[in-house]
């Protein structure tokens, strides 16, 4: 039987982390020719992940520009992929989640009537502008996709409500948990001395990330003010803020938090370093989506610096709490966990609502079934 050609497309760091285990799985399948195309919507942050997982892309659109606009990203991805798809003629294109690379990748495939598989499908806040532009990116991608790999039951329900045919949706778990099985190690040594020397036992080390578009301006300002107060009010707290390379975020964070010896501002770390830092820290405060999935897997409480989330599973389970970007509310909720052990223990139960480490294998099996390469039994992730 003729092999099927699958091109996996991604462009930002989190997509790369979550697609890497799937790329590795597809490479093992005899009936599949697996190719990787990176848009490089992110450059350095993407390259770190490619190197860690030892992935050499077959195609690299190299589109990133300083302070890039959404229109610019969309145009450059559409044009770049048009050329690659017309030459390569893949049987299916795989995209991930909700970035502008994701939507443009799905649209470029649709324009050439190539099948689209959407990994991490069905996450919704049901609010068009939160997160912006991700909520719309994922909805539009769903309209273009032929196969929907929903991480949880809840994400499948969202897709059905929007009229997606149930037979095209599979609950797979999230591939990020597959990635964490490779990265997290109890005896991990960091590449930065500071991280090896911090006293994770006697200090309460809080890991921070915050960079989302809808938090630019007032949101980031408030977050910085709250972080300064938390450090001032708690002698045993140290903060490690991994500051995104986007200058719009970076300039504010360095100005407001740059002068405190208990606040450590670091560049984004490699994936394995971030996962292991999370494993050692006391808790996480973030506006990122990925960390909301990763930290519960490690039993770390998460305060989410957003008003809505597309990942309600861990909120329902009680390990993640939405606190928004109001200064008083952030300080109040953080202090509760720092000062009250019972509150902390309630939120620090390790749980796996997002996956069991087999998502990539399931997705590859489903693709093989779809193209009649082999008939495989699919056991969905039903947590
Ligand atoms: C993008 C995605 C967002 C995802 C996030 C993960 C869109 C619209 N946004 O947001 O969904 O959650 O990635 O991080 O798709 N930069 C560098 N080097 C890098 C990466 C970024 O210098 O390696 C700087 C550039 O100045 C770039 C800016 O960061 O213009 C913003 O990058 P962009 O991909 O547009 O937005 P993100 O906020 O990273």
pLDDT tens digits along 369-381: 999 999 999 999 9
Q: Give the Å distances, CA to CA, from 194 to 114, 206, 287.
A: 48, 14, 24
Question: Which secondary structure element, helix H or strand E, spans residue 101, and what is its range?
Answer: helix 100-111
Pairing of strands 302-304, 283-286: parallel
For residue 43, which atom of ligand 1 is closest to its CA? 23
Ligand 1: nearest atom to the Cα of 41: 34
Q: Residues, the chain, total? A: 383
**CATH code, residues 193-349:** 3.40.50.2000
Whether 4-174+355-371 shares its CATH topology with 193-349 is answered: yes
Residue 250 CB less than 6 A away from ligand 1: no
Rounded distance from Cα 12 to ligand 1 centre (Å) = 7
Whether the CB-CB separation of 332 and 234 falls below 8 Å is answered with: no
pLDDT for 349: 83
The pLDDT of residue 254:
98
Nearest to 84 by CA among 37, 42, 118: 37
As a dihedral over the C-alpha atoms of residue 335, residue 338, residue 344, residue 349, rounded to 10 degrees, the angle is 110
325 - beta bridge partners? none
Task: Please count the CA atoms within 13 angstroms of the CA of 7 that sit on its side-chain side.
Answer: 26
CATH architecture for segment(s) 4-174+355-371: 3-Layer(aba) Sandwich (3.40)
User: Whose Cα sits closest to atom 31 in ligand 1?
Assistant: 246
Closest residue to atom 38 of ligand 1, CA basis: 212
Residue 215 in contact with ligand 1 by CB distance below 6 A? no
Mean pLDDT of 1-15: 96
For the cut 90, the answer to whether the pLDDT of residue 350 exceeds it is no
DSSP designation for 123: -
Residue 105 contacts by C-beta under 8 Å, 6 or more apart in sequence? Answer: 9, 39, 77, 81, 93, 95
Question: Ligand 1 within 6 A of 41 CB?
Answer: yes
326, pLDDT greater than 80: yes
State how far the Cα of 264 lies from the Cα of 142, in Å rounded to an integer: 40
CA of 10 to the centre of ligand 1 (A): 12
> What are the residue boundaries of the structural domains of the chain, listed by start?
4-174+355-371, 193-349
- The residues assigned a catalytic role are 98, 120, 134, 211, 213, 244
Torsion sign (Cα): 16, 133, 43, 40: positive
Are 208 and 240 in contact, with CB atoms under 8 Å apart? yes
Task: Tell which residue, 60, 87, 59, 62, has the closest CA to residue 73.
Answer: 62
Which ligand 1 atom sits closest to the C-alpha of 100?
15
CA distances (Å), origin 354, targets 154, 247, 288, 300: 11, 32, 15, 14
CB distance 12 to ligand 1 below 6 Å: yes
Helix (H, G, I), strand (E, B), or coil: what is residue 371?
A: coil
**Residue 362 pLDDT greater than 90, yes or no:** yes
Distance from the CA of 163 to the center of ligand 1, in angstroms?
31
Question: Strand, coil or helix: what is 38?
Answer: strand
How many angstroms does the Cα of residue 66 sit away from the middle of ligand 1? 10
Rounded-to-integer distance, Cα 349 and Cα 56, Å = 37
Ligand 1 atom showing the smallest separation from residue 133 Cα: 8
Strand partners, 237: 204
Going across the sheet that includes 320-322, the strands are: 263-266, 237-242, 204-209, 283-286, 302-304, 320-322
Task: Give the mean pLDDT of the chain.
Answer: 96
* Binding site membership of 45 for ligand 1 (Cβ less than 6 Å): yes
Q: State mean pLDDT over 203-227.
A: 96
Q: Is 266 in the pocket of ligand 1 (CB under 6 A)?
A: no
Q: In percent, how much of the chain has pLDDT > 70?
A: 100
Shortest-distance atom of ligand 1 to CA 246 = 29
Q: Is the CB of 18 under 6 A from ligand 1?
A: no
Q: In which band, very low, low, confident or very high, does the pLDDT at 272 lie, cut at 50, 70 and 90? A: very high
Q: Is the CB of 66 under 6 A from ligand 1?
A: yes
């Amino acid at each position: 039987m003729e092999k099927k050609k699958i091109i996996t497309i991604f462009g930002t760091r989190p997509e790369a982390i979550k697609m890497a285990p799937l790329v590795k799985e597809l490479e093992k399948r005899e009936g599949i020719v697996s190719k990787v195309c990176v848009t490089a919507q992110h450059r350095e942050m993407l390259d770190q992940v490619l190197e860690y997982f030892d992935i050499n892309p077959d195609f690299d659109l190299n589109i990133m520009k300083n302070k890039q606009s959404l229109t610019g990203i969309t145009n450059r991805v559409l044009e770049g992929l048009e050329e690659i798809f017309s030459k390569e003629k893949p049987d299916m294109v795989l995209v991930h989640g909700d970035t502008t690379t994701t939507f443009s990748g799905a649209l470029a495939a649709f324009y050439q009537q190539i099948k689209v598989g959407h990994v991490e499908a069905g996450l919704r806040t049901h609010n068009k502008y939160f997160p912006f532009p991700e909520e719309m990116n994922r909805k539009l991608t769903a309209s273009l996709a032929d196969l929907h790999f929903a991480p949880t039951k809840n994400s499948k329900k969202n897709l059905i409500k929007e009229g997606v045919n149930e037979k095209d949706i599979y609950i797979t778990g999230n591939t990020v948990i597959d990635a964490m099985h490779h990265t997290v190690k109890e005896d991990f040594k960091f590449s930065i001395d500071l991280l090896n020397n911090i006293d994770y036992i006697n200090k309460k080390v809080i890991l921070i990330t915050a960079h989302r578009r809808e938090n630019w301006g007032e949101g980031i300002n408030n977050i910085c003010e709250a972080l300064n107060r938390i450090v001032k009010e708690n002698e045993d707290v140290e903060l490690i803020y991994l500051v995104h390379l986007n200058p719009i975020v970076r300039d504010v964070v360095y100005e407001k938090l740059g002068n405190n010896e208990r606040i450590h501002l670091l560049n984004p770390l490699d994936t394995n370093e971030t996962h292991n830092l999370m494993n050692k820290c006391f808790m996480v405060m973030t506006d990122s989506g990925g960390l909301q999935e990763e930290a519960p897997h490690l039993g770390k409480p998460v305060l989410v610096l957003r008003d809505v989330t597309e990942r309600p599973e861990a909120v329902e389970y009680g390990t993640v709490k939405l606190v928004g970007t109001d200064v008083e509310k952030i300080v109040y909720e953080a202090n509760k966990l720092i000062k009250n052990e019972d509150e902390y223990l309630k939120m620090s139960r390790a749980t796996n609502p997002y996956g069991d480490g087999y998502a990539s294998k399931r997705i590859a099996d489903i693709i093989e079934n779809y193209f009649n390469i082999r008939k495989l039994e699919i056991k969905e992730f039903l947590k």
